[in-house]
């Protein structure tokens, strides 16, 4: 179930969540400009938010790989080959 959430649910929901976060901060910035306030310095720096988002996504990926694990790491891949005139498909052993 977790695998389906990470491989289907997360990529499907991520753009909506990212858009909502962007919309929330853009709305706050626009409201500050309408009220005549100057947005604070951290609201003017999009690179800081991009770095924070990148580190967060990296942490999520590393934690999910550590908890779920990579299936078949200890197995060897045998590529497709001919045996007795027939093609034997590739497999993991």
The candidate with the shortest Cα–Cα distance to 33, out of 42, 23, 43, is 43
Residue-wise pLDDT for 75-90, tens only, equals 788 899 999 999 999 9
Q: Please state, in angstroms and rounded to a whole number, the distance separating the CA atoms of residues 74 and 76.
A: 7
Residue-wise pLDDT for 25-75, tens only, equals 888 878 887 888 877 776 666 777 778 888 998 888 888 877 776 665 677
pTM (predicted TM-score): 0.43
pLDDT at res. 54: 86
């Amino acid at each position: 179930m977790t695998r389906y959430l990470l491989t289907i649910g997360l990529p499907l929901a991520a753009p909506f969540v990212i858009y909502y976060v962007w919309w929330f901060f853009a709305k706050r910035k626009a409201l500050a400009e309408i009220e005549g306030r100057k947005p604070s310095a951290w609201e003017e720096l999009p690179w800081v938010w991009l770095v924070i988002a990148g580190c967060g996504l990296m942490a999520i990926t590393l934690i999910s790989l550590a908890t779920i694990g990579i299936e078949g790491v200890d197995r060897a891949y045998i590529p497709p080959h001919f045996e007795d005139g027939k093609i034997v498909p590739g497999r993991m052993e």
